[in-house]
Amino acid sequence: MKILSWNIYKDNKRMPDAVEFLKNGKFDVICLQEFPIQDLKKLNLLTAHLYFEEEFLVYNNSRKKPDRMYTVIISNTPIQNKGVIKHKNYYEDITKQDDRYQDFRADSMYADIDIGERKLRIFNVHFRCVAGPYHRLSQFREVLENFNPQRENIVCGDLNTFGHPVINIFVWKYFGFKIREFFINEKTILRATFDLNKLQNPFRGLLTFLKFPMQLDYILLPNITKIISKRRFLNSYGSDHLPISVEI
């Protein structure tokens, strides 16, 4: 089976091309983040089982309308069960500085899918960008708490994991890092968390974000899952993220 994960981008100007790519890719499961609300009907072209939850982005500038979008799971087979992981707005002490930033909220979601005798729980996540590493690490911990031991747990999505001691010093003010987060290497902590929970990251070391050379997008699989092939598509179809896919 083939699984795709992609932050399709809320301001995508090539949505017809993006949906055509999804339609022709012959994917069994598709996890999308930032799917524009006005384009949701286009997903009906995929003739598949859809499950979506709303994301929103509220700007501090009152003259800008909030952006509404969706986190979406698309499956070729029926979804047996589904759920939402409600994340907190903040996991650290709130300071006056936090009020300066745009408010973004996207709760993580999961869908249970049976393919033959194979029982899967697919998570789709989009962690908060304008927040410190502690926030995203807390969100990831909550996802792990919803793993089903009777199923093959697969985590897809945009983790927005960019915290690094060299970078933090320059971006902390814009992204709302706390001073104690200056020297955190977010990826190192994540890798240790992957190892602890016996997860493999087949796209480690590959950039998936076009505006900055780093991996923000993941498909995390159990160590026991055999990967037949993996692919990072080099055509972004109007997004600022590259689609990634694995065949298992």
What domains does the chain contain, in order, with CATH numbers?
2-247 (3.60.10.10)
With a CB cutoff of 8 Å and minimum separation 6, the contacts of 144 are: 193, 197
Look at residues 131, 128, 135, 127 and name the one whose alpha carbon lies nearest to residue 157: 127
Q: Mind listing the pLDDT tens digit for each residue in 158-174?
A: 999 998 888 888 888 78
Predicted confidence band of residue 176 (pLDDT cuts 50, 70, 90): confident
Looking at residue 98, its pLDDT comes to: 67
Looking at residue 12, its pLDDT comes to: 96
Q: Mind listing the pLDDT tens digit for each residue in 18-34?
A: 999 999 999 999 999 99
Q: pTM, whole model, 2 decimals?
A: 0.95
Phi-psi region of 9 (alpha: psi -120 to 50; beta: other; left: phi over 0): left
C-alpha distances (whole Å) from 36 to each of 8, 39, 49, 85, 106 are 9, 6, 18, 21, 13
Q: What SS3 state is found at 37?
A: helix
- Do 72 and 35 contact (CB within 8 A), yes or no? yes
